[in-house]
Structure 1
Amino acid sequence: MNSITRAKLSFMMFLEFFIWGAWFVTLGTFLSKNLGTTGFQTSLAFLTQSIGAIIAPFIIGLIADKFFSAQKILGVLHLIGGALLWLASSSISFDRLFPIIVVYMILYMPTLALVNSISFRQMKDPSKEFSTIRVLGTIGWIIAGLVIGWLGWEQNNQLALTFKMAAGGSFLLGIFSFTLPATPPLKKDEKTSVSEILGLDALRLLANKSYLLFFISSIAICIPLQFYYTFANQFFNEAGMKAAAGVQSLGQVSETLFMLLIPVFFIRLGVKKMLAIGMIAWALRYALFAYGDAGANYWMLIIGIALHGICYDFFFVTGQIYTDNLAGEKFKSAAQGLVTLGTYGVGMLIGAFVSGPIVDAYAIGTEAHDWKSIWLIPAGIALLVTVLFFLLFKDKNSATKPLSEE
């Protein structure tokens, strides 16, 4: 990969996750403080990413693998997304905001698979090259959180501005996408079945028992993960943490460090150990949140946040590489869409319906919660998933041929 291509892919990743981090981290706080939502309504707002993730494989399979170049689709989706984010910034009620972010997430979630697909197509060895590109996405998320904390938007009740900041990033990436390396559909001139057009051929991956267990575990671990994405920022603000969004960016700093070390860990630990370590880290961080506070046990909150690098990289990035290696050339886009479907789709969809009612059940008045009891629930779920995964998963990916070679 030449330096210009590497720079373009890196900037693409930076903007992709800057956009998401710019409004998504503080969404729960915005909803509860500005729009007065319940825990269940907040979880419904975060459920929109699941709706988008479930639809994503069909968009990728229908368009990116068959008809249009991935970089052009990416550009169009982000230009439309930018307009929707700007519109969302002026919402004054949950009923007005909800349909906007539903449509936005249907457009945004497919772009997560598209940026991976565009990147993988330029690489000879993704297990060694991908992490150095993907790390710029993490840096983008960090910058977004630091800007929010530095400008004091949480303390000054100005979180509506996060949508405008994200909109600006989306417009920029939409335009920039048309300069990215050409990534034409691999199956453009082939006769394809309906299942291929819809990206359903990637389901053949599930015939591999190891991958099937990984896929099921991905869904299960995203149930407790949804507690973090939906309620962590609200929890930190209720606990009295200053500039919570900025402090939360420490998690992405950790993610950056471990992202760079993934090639080393991938070789030395293998898929099974990396995935298991990633899952056990989720259980540990929730336990730390349960017993941490903004006083003497503030260090527990900081360590819990810093564990994000292991939580995310060891499970999700490793899973993306594992999927890419197994899928082969012809099904890369659809296979990444399948991962998005299982994690951000089905798993977080279930997590949204589980987390919201639990948070409401432990509400104390209108502005406080019994967070210790709340966090111990996802900690227990994550621990159970880890134990079952470690006992049942067999790491056979090195001996498995890609789908395109079968």
Structure 2
Amino acid sequence: PIRVWGTIGFIIAMWVIDLNRWTFNPFQLYVSAASGLFLGLYAFTLPACPPSKTRKTGSLISSLGLDAFVLFKRRRMLIFFLFAMLLGAALQITNTFGSTFLDDFKVIYPDSFGVKHPNLLLSISQISETLFILTIPFFLYKFGIKKVMLISMFAWVFRFGLFGIGNPGSGLFLLILSMIIYGMAFDFFNISGSLFVEKEAEINIRASAQGLFMLMTNGLGAFLGGLISGRVVDYFTSNGVRDWQSIWFAFAGYALVLCLVFPFVFKYKHDPKAIEIIHH
């Protein structure tokens, strides 16, 4: 439930920016800075929550949270973190180019909802995310992390593919369907993956392991996604005109490759009882 409120905040921010016409205005950065300052000050009012002491003395490596890197010694976790990085790249693609994609239709569909309110349309993705979060316990218990992650990868294929054939005019329903699918694409890996890390990591390194997971997805994955997606967009841009269909199909092909490779390299036997022992 706590995680859901983060997404709700995401939605509110998108609506505020869009309804005030700040989508392509630097004022949105001032709003972000003010929000960050407020939250920073608010943090000082929170109750003290010192870290639990699992050891009498801790090494520098442990203090810095680097002891979680021991998980790379396990083949299954190594592969998991590798795909975490690759899927993190997929997330960065739509975060970076979603609004730009819709804005490029302003000449063809100047009065369409998607062009006038790109952030409102894109926020359907986050609304879907809040709903799919609620289904994660069922899917994890029923199918296990491997199949749930595979569902996420296929969802990314459809996410990008529907962007490729949709538009803010006659193809608006395809874009809306893509937004709905995003909830599954994001939650079934990012949230389920976090629960998987919680189960696999020893209790004394769980916090560090979660940090490592975030590093792979929102750190290295985001960097990789930004770098590669920028190159792809530039490749399919001629005389300032972007070939969005080819761009999105290229990204869909990337996600499809992950789908085809993942089940053969990630070995995992689902045990429904193991899901029940995850404590938060």
Question: TM (normalized to structure 1)?
Answer: 0.61
Between the aligned partners of 2:48 and 2:155, the Cα distance in structure 1 is 38
1:202 positional shift: 0.4
Change (3 A) 1:269 1:397: closer
Change (3 A) 1:269 1:179: farther
1:173 alignment partner, one of 33, 39, 42: 39
Kindly provide the CA deviation profile for residues 240-259 of structure 1, in whole angstroms up to 9, marking residues without a partner as x.
32210111110010001011
Q: Mean alpha-carbon deviation: is it higher for 381-390 or for 164-173?
A: 164-173
Between the aligned partners of 1:143 and 1:187, the Cα distance in structure 2 is 38
Change (3 A) 1:325 1:183: farther
Question: TM (normalized to structure 2)?
Answer: 0.87
1:135 positional shift: 0.6
4+ runs deviating over 6 angstroms = none
Residue number in structure 2 paired with 1:375: 248
1:255 is the counterpart of 2:255: no
Residue number in structure 1 paired with 2:228: 354
Kindly provide the CA deviation profile for residues 7-29 of structure 1, in whole angstroms up to 9, marking residues without a partner as x.
xxxxxxxxxxxxxxxxxxxxxxx
SS in 2 for 1:214: helix
In the alignment, structure 1 segments of 5+ residues that lack a partner are 1-131, 401-406
Between the aligned partners of 1:394 and 1:355, the Cα distance in structure 2 is 29
1:318 alignment partner, one of 178, 192, 201: 192
Q: Which amino acid aligns with 1:146?
A: W
Residue number in structure 1 paired with 2:22: 153
In the alignment, structure 2 segments of 5+ residues that lack a partner are 107-114, 275-280
Residue number in structure 1 paired with 2:100: 234
1:397 positional shift: 7.5
Please say if residues 149 and 189 of structure 2, whose CA atoms lie closer than 8 Å, have aligned partners that are also in contact.
yes
Aligned residues: 265
Please say if residues 165 and 245 of structure 2, whose CA atoms lie closer than 8 Å, have aligned partners that are also in contact.
yes
Residue number in structure 2 paired with 1:243: 117
1:197 is the counterpart of 2:63: yes
Between Structure 1 and Structure 2, the one with more helix by share is 1
Residue number in structure 2 paired with 1:225: 91
Q: Mean alpha-carbon deviation: is it higher for 169-178 or for 225-234?
A: 169-178
Between the aligned partners of 2:88 and 2:246, the Cα distance in structure 1 is 19
- What is the 5 A alignment of 1:259-278? 259-278=133-152
Residue number in structure 2 paired with 1:389: 262
Between the aligned partners of 1:178 and 1:337, the Cα distance in structure 2 is 22
Please say if residues 131 and 183 of structure 2, whose CA atoms lie closer than 8 Å, have aligned partners that are also in contact.
yes
Change (3 A) 1:189 1:395: closer
- What is the 5 A alignment of 1:6-405? 132-154=1-23, 157=24, 159-187=25-53, 190-240=56-106, 241-366=115-240, 368-396=241-269
Please say if residues 202 and 335 of structure 1, whose CA atoms lie closer than 8 Å, have aligned partners that are also in contact.
yes
SS in 2 for 1:257: helix
Q: Which amino acid aligns with 2:207?
A: S
Please say if residues 254 and 308 of structure 1, whose CA atoms lie closer than 8 Å, have aligned partners that are also in contact.
yes
Between the aligned partners of 2:269 and 2:56, the Cα distance in structure 1 is 31
Q: Which amino acid aligns with 2:159?
A: R
Between the aligned partners of 1:338 and 1:315, the Cα distance in structure 2 is 15
SS in 1 for 2:134: helix
1:287 positional shift: 0.7
RMSD: 2.1
Please say if residues 54 and 204 of structure 2, whose CA atoms lie closer than 8 Å, have aligned partners that are also in contact.
no
Change (3 A) 1:257 1:238: same
Q: Which amino acid aligns with 1:162?
A: Q
